[in-house]
């Protein structure tokens, strides 16, 4: 499909039994996240690639983090709601819609699932400010972690998983050994193709399980 206007979600795929909203990394919506959306659509899941930055792409990490910090969570979550509406028209009325995200986008995907009635989430090495927010999860979470991620992985085990246990939420954790944060992203120095492929297979298996469930089941 042609790229959407700045700020608008780009929707890939025509028909499917499960819908997805995919969230970009801290730099902004780029060809990487578009390729993820295309891959998900090719697997049979109509997917909306959200644009949190209204067309901006910030290649400098510090500038990107500062820009993200200036955005209100409520405005970000409104964009995910709009993306969900955009993909809803390509699905049966009973179909689940979940979130998928990477790094910062993984945290946003999880945050949206905690606060905006998404049916499930896939979080690749992303974190949220308040782990206790998982109390709001309405469906399962697939959490993909790297053993050498010094920022996200310790937080997940020390804060997120205990909060999920306390709230009686279903979280599936995939911890991949010997790889660093953002191992899924091609072209990054920490990219690990074999691990990225293994994590993607696990993601597709998780999505297939969600697609197979009857309406209302978790």
pTM more than 0.85: yes
Task: For the chain, list residues with pLDDT below 50.
Answer: 216-218
Instruction: Look at residue 1 in the predicted model and tell me its pLDDT.
Output: 61
Phi first, then psi: give them for residue 57, nearest 5 degrees: -130, 125
CA distance 105 to 171: 18
CB-based contact 155:127 (threshold 8 Å): yes
Ranges of H-type helices in 70-184: 73-88, 104-115, 152-155, 161-167
Q: What is the pLDDT of residues 186-195, one digit of tens each?
A: 999 999 999 9
Residue from 80, 124, 120, 133 nearest 106 by CA: 124
Instruction: Look at residue 216 in the predicted model and tell me its pLDDT.
Output: 47
Q: Which residues are CB-contacts of 118 (< 8 A; sequence separation ≥ 6)?
A: 21, 80, 84, 97, 98, 99, 112, 138, 139
CA distance 130 to 164: 12
Instruction: Look at residue 94 in the predicted model and tell me its pLDDT.
Output: 85
Instruction: Look at residue 51 in the predicted model and tell me its pLDDT.
Output: 97
Q: Where are the chain's structural domains?
A: 10-212
Instruction: Look at residue 210 in the predicted model and tell me its pLDDT.
Output: 94
Residue from 27, 77, 16 nearest 56 by CA: 27
- Write down the architecture of domain 10-212 according to CATH: 3-Layer(aba) Sandwich (3.40)
CA distance 206 to 142: 8
Distance between alpha carbon 208 and the CA centroid of its chain, in Å? Answer: 16
CB-based contact 210:18 (threshold 8 Å): yes
Number of H helices, E strands in the chain: 7, 7
Instruction: Look at residue 217 in the predicted model and tell me its pLDDT.
Output: 45
């Amino acid at each position: 499909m042609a790229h959407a206007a700045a700020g608008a979600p780009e929707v890939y795929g025509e028909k499917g039994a499960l819908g997805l909203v995919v969230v970009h990394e801290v730099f902004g919506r780029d060809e990487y996240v578009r390729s993820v959306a295309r891959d998900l659509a090719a697997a049979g899941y109509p997917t909306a690639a959200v644009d949190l930055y209204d067309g901006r792409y910030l290649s400098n990490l510090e500038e990107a983090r500062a820009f993200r910090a200036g955005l209100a969570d409520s405005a970000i979550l409104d964009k995910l709601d709009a993306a969900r509406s955009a993909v809803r028209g390509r699905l049966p009325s009973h179909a689940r819609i979940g979130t998928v995200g990477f790094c910062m986008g993984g945290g946003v995907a999880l945050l949206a699932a905690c606060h905006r009635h998404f049916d499930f989430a896939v979080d690749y090495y992303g974190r949220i400010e308040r782990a206790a927010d998982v109390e709001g999860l309405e469906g399962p979470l697939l959490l993909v972690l790297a053993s050498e991620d010094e920022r996200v992985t310790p937080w997940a085990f020390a804060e997120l998983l205990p909060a999920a246990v306390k709230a009686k939420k279903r979280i599936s954790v995939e911890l991949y050994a010997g790889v660093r944060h953002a191992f899924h992203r091609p072209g990054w120095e920490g990219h690990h193709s074999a691990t990225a492929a293994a994590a993607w297979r696990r993601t597709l298996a998780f999505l297939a399980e969600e697609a197979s469930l009857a309406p209302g089941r978790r």
